Amino acid sequence: MMKAILVLLVAVLYREITGDDQCEEILAPMCRGFLRYRKTKMPNLFGHTTQAQAYRRMERYWANMDLSCSNNFRSTICGVYFPECKTKGTTVSVKLPCREGCLYAKKECRRAFSSYNMAWPTKVLKCKQLPRKKSKNCVKPYKKLKKPRDRQHNFCQPNQIELCNGFNISKVSLPNFFQQDDPQMISTELENYRQLLRSNCSPNLRFFMCGVYQSWCPSNNRPIVLPCRQVCEEVKASCEATYRRLYNGLKWPAKFQCHRYPLPNSTVYPCKASDTITPDDEVPFRG
Protein backbone atom coordinates (compact mmCIF):
# COMPACT_ATOMS: atom_id res chain seq x y z
CA MET A 1 0.00 0.00 0.00
CA MET A 2 2.75 2.46 1.01
CA LYS A 3 4.74 1.65 -2.12
CA ALA A 4 1.71 2.40 -4.28
CA ILE A 5 1.24 5.74 -2.55
CA LEU A 6 4.90 6.67 -3.11
CA VAL A 7 4.70 5.74 -6.78
CA LEU A 8 1.62 7.95 -7.11
CA LEU A 9 3.39 10.85 -5.40
CA VAL A 10 6.35 10.51 -7.75
CA ALA A 11 4.00 10.58 -10.72
CA VAL A 12 2.29 13.70 -9.40
CA LEU A 13 5.59 15.47 -8.80
CA TYR A 14 6.87 15.32 -12.35
CA ARG A 15 3.64 15.90 -14.19
CA GLU A 16 2.86 19.21 -15.84
CA ILE A 17 0.37 21.36 -13.99
CA THR A 18 -1.68 24.17 -15.45
CA GLY A 19 -2.75 26.89 -13.05
CA ASP A 20 -1.74 30.01 -11.19
CA ASP A 21 0.77 28.40 -8.83
CA GLN A 22 4.32 29.41 -9.74
CA CYS A 23 7.80 28.22 -8.82
CA GLU A 24 9.65 29.74 -5.86
CA GLU A 25 13.35 30.39 -5.24
CA ILE A 26 15.12 27.71 -3.18
CA LEU A 27 16.13 29.17 0.20
CA ALA A 28 17.80 26.27 2.05
CA PRO A 29 21.52 27.18 2.42
CA MET A 30 22.71 23.57 1.94
CA CYS A 31 20.96 23.41 -1.45
CA ARG A 32 20.78 26.93 -2.89
CA GLY A 33 23.57 27.49 -5.40
CA PHE A 34 24.62 23.83 -5.44
CA LEU A 35 21.99 22.55 -7.88
CA ARG A 36 21.51 22.85 -11.64
CA TYR A 37 18.32 24.76 -10.95
CA ARG A 38 17.25 27.56 -8.62
CA LYS A 39 13.50 27.08 -8.19
CA THR A 40 11.23 24.53 -6.56
CA LYS A 41 7.58 23.97 -5.76
CA MET A 42 5.72 22.61 -2.76
CA PRO A 43 4.29 20.21 -1.76
CA ASN A 44 7.23 17.85 -2.16
CA LEU A 45 7.51 14.07 -2.17
CA PHE A 46 6.98 13.94 1.60
CA GLY A 47 3.95 16.21 1.67
CA HIS A 48 5.73 19.29 3.05
CA THR A 49 3.71 22.33 2.02
CA THR A 50 6.37 24.98 2.75
CA GLN A 51 10.13 25.21 2.31
CA ALA A 52 10.45 25.79 6.06
CA GLN A 53 8.86 22.38 6.75
CA ALA A 54 11.14 20.64 4.25
CA TYR A 55 14.20 22.43 5.62
CA ARG A 56 13.47 21.30 9.18
CA ARG A 57 13.36 17.67 8.04
CA MET A 58 16.39 17.64 5.74
CA GLU A 59 18.78 19.69 7.91
CA ARG A 60 19.81 16.49 9.72
CA TYR A 61 21.57 15.38 6.51
CA TRP A 62 23.73 18.50 6.20
CA ALA A 63 26.77 16.68 7.63
CA ASN A 64 26.43 13.98 4.97
CA MET A 65 26.41 16.63 2.24
CA ASP A 66 29.55 18.27 3.60
CA LEU A 67 31.56 15.08 3.08
CA SER A 68 31.54 15.87 -0.65
CA CYS A 69 32.03 12.20 -1.49
CA SER A 70 29.82 12.47 -4.58
CA ASN A 71 28.52 15.25 -6.80
CA ASN A 72 25.22 13.38 -6.80
CA PHE A 73 24.55 13.04 -3.07
CA ARG A 74 23.69 16.67 -2.40
CA SER A 75 21.78 17.02 -5.68
CA THR A 76 19.75 13.89 -4.93
CA ILE A 77 18.78 14.62 -1.33
CA CYS A 78 18.12 18.28 -2.12
CA GLY A 79 16.16 17.16 -5.15
CA VAL A 80 13.72 14.97 -3.24
CA TYR A 81 13.04 17.73 -0.70
CA PHE A 82 13.18 20.60 -3.21
CA PRO A 83 12.27 19.20 -6.66
CA GLU A 84 13.09 21.20 -9.76
CA CYS A 85 10.35 23.56 -10.92
CA LYS A 86 10.10 25.30 -14.29
CA THR A 87 7.41 27.50 -15.75
CA LYS A 88 6.42 28.04 -19.34
CA GLY A 89 3.51 30.40 -19.69
CA THR A 90 0.88 29.08 -17.29
CA THR A 91 2.34 25.56 -17.27
CA VAL A 92 4.43 24.46 -14.29
CA SER A 93 6.59 21.32 -14.57
CA VAL A 94 8.16 19.64 -11.54
CA LYS A 95 10.89 16.98 -11.63
CA LEU A 96 12.64 14.74 -9.12
CA PRO A 97 16.29 13.67 -9.39
CA CYS A 98 17.04 10.66 -11.59
CA ARG A 99 17.46 7.18 -10.11
CA GLU A 100 20.93 6.84 -11.63
CA GLY A 101 22.30 9.82 -9.68
CA CYS A 102 20.98 8.36 -6.44
CA LEU A 103 22.66 5.02 -7.18
CA TYR A 104 25.94 6.74 -8.10
CA ALA A 105 25.90 8.63 -4.82
CA LYS A 106 25.16 5.52 -2.79
CA LYS A 107 28.16 3.75 -4.29
CA GLU A 108 30.54 6.73 -4.25
CA CYS A 109 29.78 7.64 -0.63
CA ARG A 110 29.94 4.16 0.85
CA ARG A 111 33.55 4.48 2.05
CA ALA A 112 33.21 8.04 3.37
CA PHE A 113 29.97 7.29 5.21
CA SER A 114 31.54 4.23 6.81
CA SER A 115 34.65 6.11 7.98
CA TYR A 116 32.46 8.71 9.74
CA ASN A 117 29.98 6.14 11.09
CA MET A 118 27.19 7.59 8.96
CA ALA A 119 24.41 5.46 7.49
CA TRP A 120 22.78 5.88 4.10
CA PRO A 121 19.42 7.67 4.69
CA THR A 122 17.28 4.73 3.56
CA LYS A 123 14.00 6.32 4.69
CA VAL A 124 14.59 9.33 2.44
CA LEU A 125 16.63 8.12 -0.52
CA LYS A 126 14.96 5.03 -1.95
CA CYS A 127 16.76 5.08 -5.29
CA LYS A 128 14.56 2.52 -7.03
CA GLN A 129 11.48 4.67 -6.48
CA LEU A 130 12.94 7.57 -8.48
CA PRO A 131 12.37 7.87 -12.24
CA ARG A 132 15.03 6.62 -14.65
CA LYS A 133 17.10 9.02 -16.73
CA LYS A 134 15.76 7.54 -19.96
CA SER A 135 12.25 8.65 -19.00
CA LYS A 136 13.40 12.30 -19.40
CA ASN A 137 11.11 13.10 -16.47
CA CYS A 138 13.90 13.66 -13.95
CA VAL A 139 16.85 15.98 -13.28
CA LYS A 140 19.92 14.68 -15.10
CA PRO A 141 22.62 13.33 -12.74
CA TYR A 142 26.29 14.27 -12.70
CA LYS A 143 28.72 11.80 -14.26
CA LYS A 144 29.71 8.84 -12.15
CA LEU A 145 33.15 9.24 -10.55
CA LYS A 146 35.84 6.91 -11.90
CA LYS A 147 37.22 6.47 -8.40
CA PRO A 148 36.14 7.67 -4.92
CA ARG A 149 37.15 11.23 -4.13
CA ASP A 150 39.95 11.47 -1.57
CA ARG A 151 39.40 14.06 1.12
CA GLN A 152 42.01 16.78 1.38
CA HIS A 153 43.57 17.51 4.78
CA ASN A 154 45.76 20.53 4.14
CA PHE A 155 45.23 22.23 7.51
CA CYS A 156 46.76 25.72 7.56
CA GLN A 157 46.08 27.32 4.20
CA PRO A 158 45.81 30.94 3.02
CA ASN A 159 42.28 32.29 3.18
CA GLN A 160 40.63 32.17 -0.27
CA ILE A 161 37.23 33.60 0.68
CA GLU A 162 36.94 37.32 -0.10
CA LEU A 163 34.22 37.80 2.50
CA CYS A 164 36.68 36.76 5.22
CA ASN A 165 39.55 39.04 4.23
CA GLY A 166 40.64 41.73 6.66
CA PHE A 167 40.99 39.72 9.85
CA ASN A 168 44.42 39.53 11.46
CA ILE A 169 44.69 35.75 11.06
CA SER A 170 45.45 34.93 7.44
CA LYS A 171 45.58 31.12 7.66
CA VAL A 172 42.51 28.91 7.86
CA SER A 173 41.91 25.21 8.33
CA LEU A 174 40.99 22.87 5.51
CA PRO A 175 38.95 20.87 6.18
CA ASN A 176 37.01 23.19 8.43
CA PHE A 177 35.10 22.33 11.60
CA PHE A 178 32.33 20.73 9.51
CA GLN A 179 34.77 18.69 7.38
CA GLN A 180 34.26 20.87 4.29
CA ASP A 181 37.52 20.87 2.33
CA ASP A 182 36.53 22.68 -0.87
CA PRO A 183 36.91 26.50 -0.76
CA GLN A 184 34.42 26.89 -3.62
CA MET A 185 31.78 24.90 -1.73
CA ILE A 186 32.42 26.95 1.42
CA SER A 187 32.17 30.19 -0.55
CA THR A 188 28.90 29.12 -2.20
CA GLU A 189 27.34 28.31 1.16
CA LEU A 190 28.50 31.57 2.71
CA GLU A 191 27.01 33.53 -0.19
CA ASN A 192 23.59 32.21 0.81
CA TYR A 193 23.74 34.52 3.84
CA ARG A 194 24.25 37.64 1.72
CA GLN A 195 20.97 39.22 2.87
CA LEU A 196 21.62 38.45 6.52
CA LEU A 197 25.12 39.93 6.44
CA ARG A 198 23.84 43.08 4.76
CA SER A 199 21.15 43.51 7.41
CA ASN A 200 23.77 44.61 9.99
CA CYS A 201 21.82 42.72 12.65
CA SER A 202 25.02 42.23 14.67
CA PRO A 203 28.49 43.81 14.52
CA ASN A 204 29.92 40.35 15.26
CA LEU A 205 28.09 38.50 12.46
CA ARG A 206 30.84 38.45 9.82
CA PHE A 207 33.49 37.53 12.41
CA PHE A 208 31.30 34.68 13.65
CA MET A 209 30.39 33.31 10.22
CA CYS A 210 33.97 33.41 8.96
CA GLY A 211 35.05 31.58 12.11
CA VAL A 212 32.38 28.95 11.50
CA TYR A 213 33.25 28.29 7.86
CA GLN A 214 36.93 29.29 7.84
CA SER A 215 38.17 28.00 11.18
CA TRP A 216 41.37 29.88 12.08
CA CYS A 217 44.59 27.87 11.89
CA PRO A 218 47.50 29.25 13.95
CA SER A 219 49.62 26.13 13.25
CA ASN A 220 49.33 22.53 12.05
CA ASN A 221 49.66 21.48 15.69
CA ARG A 222 46.57 23.53 16.54
CA PRO A 223 44.64 23.61 13.28
CA ILE A 224 41.17 24.68 14.41
CA VAL A 225 40.31 27.78 16.43
CA LEU A 226 36.58 28.60 16.58
CA PRO A 227 34.51 31.62 17.62
CA CYS A 228 33.77 31.58 21.36
CA ARG A 229 30.30 30.58 22.46
CA GLN A 230 29.42 34.02 23.82
CA VAL A 231 29.99 35.48 20.34
CA CYS A 232 27.56 32.93 18.92
CA GLU A 233 25.01 33.72 21.62
CA GLU A 234 25.17 37.45 20.89
CA VAL A 235 24.83 36.88 17.14
CA LYS A 236 21.91 34.49 17.54
CA ALA A 237 20.07 36.79 19.94
CA SER A 238 20.56 39.75 17.58
CA CYS A 239 19.97 38.05 14.23
CA GLU A 240 17.62 35.07 14.62
CA ALA A 241 14.42 37.06 14.08
CA THR A 242 15.98 38.84 11.10
CA TYR A 243 16.99 35.50 9.60
CA ARG A 244 13.46 34.13 9.85
CA ARG A 245 12.06 37.27 8.27
CA LEU A 246 14.54 37.40 5.40
CA TYR A 247 14.40 33.67 4.64
CA ASN A 248 10.67 33.14 4.71
CA GLY A 249 10.41 31.42 8.08
CA LEU A 250 13.45 29.12 7.91
CA LYS A 251 14.73 28.26 11.37
CA TRP A 252 18.15 29.37 12.61
CA PRO A 253 20.71 27.05 10.92
CA ALA A 254 22.02 24.02 12.80
CA LYS A 255 25.60 25.10 12.08
CA PHE A 256 24.94 28.27 14.09
CA GLN A 257 23.60 26.55 17.22
CA CYS A 258 25.74 27.87 20.06
CA HIS A 259 26.29 24.61 21.97
CA ARG A 260 28.67 23.65 19.12
CA TYR A 261 31.16 26.38 20.04
CA PRO A 262 33.66 26.33 22.92
CA LEU A 263 33.78 28.39 26.06
CA PRO A 264 36.96 30.47 26.58
CA ASN A 265 38.39 27.89 29.02
CA SER A 266 37.81 24.89 26.71
CA THR A 267 40.61 22.31 26.63
CA VAL A 268 39.27 20.70 23.44
CA TYR A 269 39.06 23.65 21.03
CA PRO A 270 40.58 27.08 21.67
CA CYS A 271 38.34 29.98 20.71
CA LYS A 272 38.50 33.64 19.80
CA ALA A 273 36.23 36.48 20.87
CA SER A 274 35.39 39.28 18.45
CA ASP A 275 37.51 41.88 20.26
CA THR A 276 40.69 39.93 19.45
CA ILE A 277 40.57 40.71 15.71
CA THR A 278 40.42 43.81 13.55
CA PRO A 279 38.09 43.44 10.55
CA ASP A 280 38.01 45.88 7.65
CA ASP A 281 35.07 48.25 7.54
CA GLU A 282 33.48 46.57 4.51
CA VAL A 283 34.20 43.52 2.34
CA PRO A 284 32.19 43.18 -0.90
CA PHE A 285 30.44 40.00 -1.95
CA ARG A 286 31.51 38.29 -5.13
CA GLY A 287 29.08 38.20 -8.03
Domains and CATH numbers, the chain: 2-139 (1.10.2000.10), 155-276 (1.10.2000.10)
Give how far Cα 119 sits from Cα of 11, 58, 227, Å: 28, 15, 30
Per-residue pLDDT, 152: 65
Which of residues 18 and 76 earns the better pLDDT score?
Answer: 76
CB 55 within 8 A of CB 125: no
What is the DSSP secondary structure assignment for residue 139, as one 8-state letter? E
Residue 151 Ramachandran class (φ > 0 left, ψ -120 to 50 alpha, else beta): beta
pLDDT digits (tens, 9 = 90+) for 169-207: 678 888 889 989 888 999 999 999 999 999 999 999 999
Which of residues 23 and 145 earns the better pLDDT score?
Answer: 23
Per-residue pLDDT, 1: 37
Per-residue pLDDT, 35: 96
Q: What one-letter code names the amino acid at 153?
A: H
pLDDT(11) > 60: no
Q: What one-letter code names the amino acid at 274?
A: S
Confidence class for position 5, pLDDT limits 50, 70, 90: very low
Could you tell me which of 74, 92, 71, 94 has the C-alpha nearest to residue 84? 94
Predicted model pTM:
0.84
CB 153 within 8 A of CB 175: yes
Confidence class for position 150, pLDDT limits 50, 70, 90: low
Burial class (CB in 10 A: 0-12, 13-18, 19+), 5: exposed
pLDDT(132) > 60: yes
pLDDT(105) > 50: yes
Query: Residue 66: which residues within 8 A CB-CB, separation 6 or more?
Result: 178, 179, 180
Query: Residue 85: which residues within 8 A CB-CB, separation 6 or more?
Result: 23, 24, 37, 39, 40, 41, 92, 93, 94
Confidence class for position 148, pLDDT limits 50, 70, 90: low
Give percent of the chain with pLDDT exceeding 70: 84
CA atoms of 76 and 47, how far apart (whole Å) = 17
Give percent of the chain with pLDDT exceeding 90: 62
Specify the range with the lowest mean pLDDT, choosing from 34-38, 140-144, 231-235.
140-144
Query: Residue 234: which residues within 8 A CB-CB, separation 6 or more?
Result: 202, 204
Q: Which residues pair with 80 in a beta bridge?
A: none
